Amino acid sequence: MPGWAFLGEDMEGKIYKGTTTVGLVCREGVVLATEKRATMGSFIASRTAKKIYQIADRIAMTTAGSVGDAQFLARLIRVEANLYEIRRERKPSVRALATLTSNLLNSYRFYPYIVQLLIGGIDDEGAKIFSIDPIGGAIEERDIVATGSGSLTAYGVLEDRYSSELGVGQAVELAVRAIFSAMKRDSASGDGIDVVRITEKEYYQLKPEEIDEIIAKFRK
């Protein structure tokens, strides 16, 4: 899937590109990571942009695109996940939420939400990640995926070091390395890293100091 993202729009309707997000499927679950910079052209609009949202018990969504569209969709899909659980008396699967999101985006294809999403997590079928484009095209990514303007650099790191036998700790380190490398080469990516690891036991967002410890290993 194309590695692009939208993060702003000027008064003339010009779309600006930015962001790096990555996802990895590993032995114990899924790891999702993003950087924190939001840009409007050459202007850094925010250094603390949130790009990973928990949308269900063991499922998260990363966002690249228009900030308003991304935030609205995160709220909407979280509500739909809760309604799904109430109506069906079971937790939604990763595939179910990806399909729901895909259908929603496709229904607005002529006035699209300007987003590119990753939906990943773990359910009864195992660990899964889906990438979803602005008009609802959904692809199951069985190993690694990266989106955004820094995705080419991130893919270079992921392709070189990824193995399906990675444990969740190793996958976290690889995700951080991929985002960190993208931040060094892509001016629209930067200002810190957010990482979520999802296993059968927990949904856990790494603390900043934990990420700093991982980065420190790269600099030795």
Q: What is the pLDDT along the chain (220 residues), one digit of tens a residue?
A: 333 334 444 333 444 456 899 999 999 999 999 998 877 777 777 788 889 999 999 999 999 888 888 999 999 999 999 999 999 989 999 999 999 999 999 998 888 888 999 999 999 999 999 999 999 999 999 999 999 888 999 999 999 999 989 999 999 999 999 999 999 888 778 788 999 999 999 999 999 999 999 999 877 6
Assign domain 6-218 to its CATH superfamily: Aminohydrolase, N-terminal nucleophile (Ntn) domain (3.60.20.10)
Instruction: Determine the length of the chain.
Output: 220
Distant-in-sequence, close-in-space partners of 43: CB < 8 Å, separation ≥ 6: none
> Under a CB-based contact definition with an 8 Å cutoff, are residues 132 and 97 in contact?
no
Written as six digits, the tokens of 114 are: 């300007």
Catalytic residue among 19, 34, 101, 147: 19
Active-site residue flag, 63: no
What is the domain partition of the chain in residue ranges?
6-218
Q: Can you tell me the distance from the alpha carbon of 147 to that of 205, in angstroms, rounded to the nearest whole number? A: 20
Q: What secondary structure does DSSP assign to the chain, as a single string? A: -----EEEE-TT-PEEE--EEEEEE-SSEEEEEEE--EEETTEEEESS---EEEEETTEEEEEEE-HHHHHHHHHHHHHHHHHHHHHHSSPPPHHHHHHHHHHHHHHTTTS---EEEEEEEEETTEEEEEEE-TT--EEEESSEEEEETTHHHHHHHHHHH--TT--HHHHHHHHHHHHHHHHHH-TTS-S-EEEEEEESS-EEEPPHHHHHHHHHHHT-
The reported pLDDT for the residue numbered 12 is 39
| Tally of CB atoms within 10 A around 156 | 15
